[in-house]
Structure 1
Amino acid sequence: MTDTAQITASYGRRYTVCTPEGKTFDATTRKKRVDFACGDIVRISPINGEQVVIEDYLPRRSLLYRQDAWKTKLIAANVDRLFIVTAAVPSPSEAFVQRALLAAEAAGIAAVIVLNKADLPETAVWREKFSFYETLGCRIVETCALDNADVLKPLLQGHTNIFLGQSGMGKSTLTNALLGSDTARTGGISTALDSGKHTTTHAQLYDLDAETKLIDSPGLQEFGLHHLEAADLLRYFPDLCHLAGQCRFHNCTHRAEPGCAVKAAAESGEVRTERVSFLQRITDELLR
């Protein structure tokens, strides 16, 4: 007999799944398959009263993942909204935010930037930096996880959501505040390294209510985009996508080629040169 369940936790090659009736099982895969993600709806076959085998996944409505030159890491499946959790301390990476927004756009997932620990004086600089992304249609929400995490509830409601970010930004603290419990592990910040300590070691899905799910994910320091095609990149930039197809050469790298519409738009001030520089860096990365 084969049934269906949702993956609620992913530990590499081991998983926890939950059936529509609310029963949870430890799950393994056949032939060391690792192409499953937290949030996947999967077909399962029973081994015993506590263990099942995952046979395959059902069609996904979205898949968020990162890929560098060496390996691919699935982050979550069937997600509607990506909350990129940042904070002024430890120092966030704007490049990480840019890359996550690009991955979300490519996957058709709506993105929200959460500026956590907003009561810190260092927040002002990042509030100004991130204001640009509001012009691209990205919502910016300020939170202090221990005081007003509930401000996120209207945005989470009715969706499958994921908290994604670098270590130490407060993803698990926010998750706990929304759950009303200390379910998700949290950790401090290494001041010597100005970086967060890794506490969440695997993606974990929680039910906030009957219609709302939240995935808390491990802290990331890098976000590889090798799963994207260089020729498609322009389409994932809300401020540059209107220039797609206007360059003289279809495989334009937007650097030295004549007739580059992107460079011309930057030189005329129509688009920001910093965004073109980011596009060039990612294009170079993908063509390497």
Structure 2
Amino acid sequence: MNINISATQKVFFASDFHLGAPNRKSSRKREDKIIRWLENIEEEAAAVFLVGDIFDFWFEYEKVVPKGFIRFIGKIAAMRDKGIPIFFFTGNHDLWMKDYFTKELGIPVYHHPIEVEINHKKMLIGHGDGLGPGDKNYKVLKKIFTNKLCQFLFKWIHPDIGISLAEKWSNSSRVTNENKQEDTFKGEGEWLWKYCQSVEEKIHFDYYIFGHRHLPLELPVGKKSTYYNLGEWVNQFTYGEFDGNTFQLLKFKK
């Protein structure tokens, strides 16, 4: 994918909104802040990359999608109507996104990292779950969750029951991760950083842009590359901005 932007345009990146968590009240407050951010950037946005775990849970049945998030969905629909390209990536909480956003809004949905070139700067962009060494338990779970037969069987559960079960699982998963202190810097054990280093040995990218870790990071990858983690919007409200020459992590405070 190639994107060319003018001197007055920027490309924006954000991940881990976790809309729906931990409850309706706090999710709605966060949703309003996300909309203010989108309103703040849309005049200069050449494109927006939403890099996974946008929803704390999402499962597309053949005729049903999860209830809620209508203000957020309405805002990105309005941005698409203005001609602003938006790109969605699935994360470990919204693995089951399919073609609803593509058919309704013209927003492509990616399930794996993709290569993007913006003004001759090469980027590898993805959510980041299941990449790099370690985290073997999750990698096994991901194979189950992405298995076509498992998805086929799950969709026959009534949505009221299936979504309720999934929301409970999502909440318990988040509590487990907090107990493991997954949002603390692991130094040389940062497995996404290691993944970027292994990729850079084979093919060069100027920027590696991921989410999932819930920790804003800017780390060197070799001498000419940088790994950025976008952080999250439950507490930190961080995002990435690229002006055609420079990538930077920023915090939205409005």
Do they superpose with TM above 0.5? no
Structure with the largest fraction of helix: 2
After TM superposition, the score normalised by the length of structure 2 is: 0.31
Structure with the largest fraction of strand: 1
After TM superposition, the score normalised by the length of structure 1 is: 0.28
Larger Rg: 1
Give the number of the structure with larger relative contact order, counting CA–CA contacts within 8 Å between residues 6 or more apart. Answer: 2
